[in-house]
Amino acid sequence: MILVTGATGNIGSVLVRQLAERGLPVRALTRDARRAVVPSGVDLVEGDLGRPESLSPAWEGVDSLFLLQTGDEDTAAVLRSAGRAGVERVVMVSSLLAEIHPESPIGGGALRGEQTVRDSGMSWTILRPGEFASNALWWARAIREHGVVSAAGGDAGSPVIDPADIAAVAGRVLTERDHEERTYPLTGPAEITPRERVHSIGRVLGRDLVFEELSVEEERERLKQFMPEEVADSLVDIDSDADRGPGVRTTVEDLTGGAPRTFEQWVAEHADSFR
Ligand SMILES: NC(=O)c1ccc[n+]([C@@H]2O[C@H](COP(=O)([O-])OP(=O)(O)OC[C@H]3O[C@@H](n4cnc5c(N)ncnc54)[C@H](OP(=O)(O)O)[C@@H]3O)[C@@H](O)[C@H]2O)c1
pLDDT at 238: 82
Length of the chain: 275
- Name the residue with higher pLDDT: 245 or 77: 77
Please tell me the pTM assigned to this model.
Answer: 0.96
CA distance 116 to 79: 8
CA 206 to centroid of ligand 1, rounded, Å: 31
**Average pLDDT of span 109-116:** 96
The per-residue pLDDT for range 189-231, each reduced to its tens digit, is: 999 999 999 999 999 999 999 999 999 899 899 889 889 998 8
Does residue 19 sit in helix, strand or coil?
helix
CA distance 88 to 61: 11
Bridge partner list, 93: 127
**Average pLDDT of span 98-112:** 94
CA 208 to centroid of ligand 1, rounded, Å: 31
CA distances 159 to 96, 179, 231, 260, Å, are: 11, 24, 21, 10
Q: Which class is domain 2-130+162-188+247-260?
A: alpha beta
Does residue 204 sit in helix, strand or coil?
helix
In terms of Cα–Cα distance, which of 14, 37, 41, 10 is closest to 27?
Answer: 41
CA 17 to centroid of ligand 1, rounded, Å: 17
DSSP string computed for 79-140: HHHHHHTT--EEEEE--THHHH-TTSHHHHHHHHHHHHHHTSSSEEEEEEE-SBGGGGGGGH
Where do the structural domains in the chain lie, given as residue ranges? 2-130+162-188+247-260
The percentage of the chain sitting over the pLDDT mark of 90, rounded to a whole number, equals 88
Q: How confident is the model at residue 241 (pLDDT cuts 50, 70, 90)?
A: low
Specify the DSSP element, H or E, that contains 2. Answer: strand 2-4
Q: How confident is the model at residue 236 (pLDDT cuts 50, 70, 90)?
A: confident
pLDDT at 222: 87
Question: Candidates 10, 17, 67, 68: which one to mutate for ligand 1, based on the most atoms within 8 Å of Cβ?
Answer: 68
Which ligand 1 atom sits closest to the C-alpha of 97?
6
pLDDT above 90 (res 244): no
CA 10 to centroid of ligand 1, rounded, Å: 8
DSSP string computed for 210-249: EEEEPPHHHHHHHHHTTS-HHHHHHHHHHHT-TT------
Ligand 1 binding site (Cβ under 6 Å of any ligand atom): 5-12, 29-32, 36, 48-50, 68-70, 72, 93, 95, 129, 131-132, 135, 163
> Do the Cβ atoms of 264 and 200 come closer than 8 Å?
yes
pLDDT above 90 (res 75): yes
- Name the residue with higher pLDDT: 4 or 222: 4
pLDDT above 90 (res 237): no
The percentage of the chain sitting over the pLDDT mark of 70, rounded to a whole number, equals 98
Mean pLDDT of all residues belonging to the chain: 95
Atom 46 of ligand 1, nearest CA residue: 69
